[in-house]
Amino acid sequence: MLLWMDYAEELLTEWKQCMEEGLDASAYKELMEQIKKMPPSRERYRLADEVFSLVQKLPQQKGYAYDEPSDWDAIQACLPKEQPVLPGVPDREALSERIHGAWLGRIIGCLLGKPVEGRRTPELKEMMRESKNDPLDRYFSYGDFSEAFCAEHAEWMNREGFADQLGGAAPSDDDTNYTVLSLKLINKYGRDFTTDDVAEIWLSDLPAIVTCTAERVAYRNALCGLTAPETATHKNPYREWIGAQIRGDLFGYINPGDLKTASHMAWRDARISHIKNGIYGEIFVSAMLAAAAVCDNREEVVRAGLSQIPEASRLAERLRLVFDWSKEGISMEEAIARVHGLYDEYDGHDWCHTISNAMLVAVGILFGEGDLQKSVCPIVQAGFDTDCNGATIGSVIGMMYGAASIPEKWAAPLCGMLRTGVAGYNLVAISDLADETMHLIPEV
């Protein structure tokens, strides 16, 4: 069976997800464990369905500390009263430079993290030491590893993501596929696209095999005739994982300074596959990028993202914690260690969750001094979802400071080109993506 499609296999993820949402599933944990241990069979599948029906009826625990709606109007009612006032939109030439920088930074950050995606910190450190790239200050290259190491760790060494194996273009990756797909979405359906339009373009232009976790489940649900929000909630234990957070960049790109429009586009996209903090992660990123298009103050950019998510959410609480750390005067390394203290990278749920990874993104931006390398590399070294976090940070830094700020050592290996799994964009110039994005930004 394709990964992430067997609900019975992920029942303990469902249990943890329910508990974090304030749904008391403790009475069902033992049953879930027993079903998970069963060999694949129709009976196992049936029992997992029964459990899904049970957890759907769980009431919210009394005294739950958070208020986390998924409906747009309810989200708006839960935002902080104080909203940021941002600078005006720069002229078209300056904006074009920023948009190009955002695309370039996103692709660079993704490529930095791609060879070590899925590696836990000890494995990641082993790869860095073996390639004499510790601390990380350049791309991983396949040729930097000994034949013995490559043979011993063959499962780690997918050549596609290594800088010396690119063949003239950055490789296809879900983190860049979704940014390109969003571009195609706006071109096809316009700025007033609906969540149903998102479902349609997924099914027509995005192969199911290039989707992961919540997106793959939502894809299956859409094929079965479900519509949002059921596509996000039906047998989807990944509904607050990072998948939506990596899809929000383009909506920030095309709404410079307009946090509300960027956020609403992100919400319409996110709700096909996610709820609550899963949705907020995409809104957070989109709003940050809308702010970064007009502002080069890192703290203001992160605060702009925070301003568009419910104040009493778990994500907002953790992002405020990162702000507190930045005021304490601690090092970036200490901030990363504190994230590791809160989340267990060996637990797949923690490793791939929106909140743990959003915290690392905020650490990278707030502690990285506005420098691409200082912002992205330590966060890739930090583990968790390395390519996702590298891509998001690179996108924000590239947007704030423009393409000209990005050193040639990071840009040159891409040869100005990107491969994607999106129909019609299989091999595309990065400059063309930036130009196409500019055409979607209304003239001021």
Residue ranges at the known binding site for Mg(2+):
385, 387
Give the Cα separation of 248 and 242 in Å (integer).
11
Question: Any idea what the Cα angle at residue 129 is, between residues 126 and 414, rounded to 5°?
Answer: 100
How far is it between the farthest Cα atoms of the chain?
Answer: 63
Neighbours of 79 (CB within 10 A): 17
Residue 429 DSSP one-character state: E
CA proximity to 248, closest of 322, 314, 179: 179
SS (H, E, C) 392-424: HHHHHHHHHHCHHHCCHHHHHHHCCEEECCCCC
Give the Cα separation of 141 and 133 in Å (integer).
10
For 334, residues 6+ apart whose C-beta sits below 8 A from its C-beta are 325
Phi-psi sector, 190: left (phi>0), alpha (psi -120 to 50), beta: left
Element (H, E) at 427: strand 427-429
Binding site members: 385, 387
For 373, residues 6+ apart whose C-beta sits below 8 A from its C-beta are 137, 407, 410
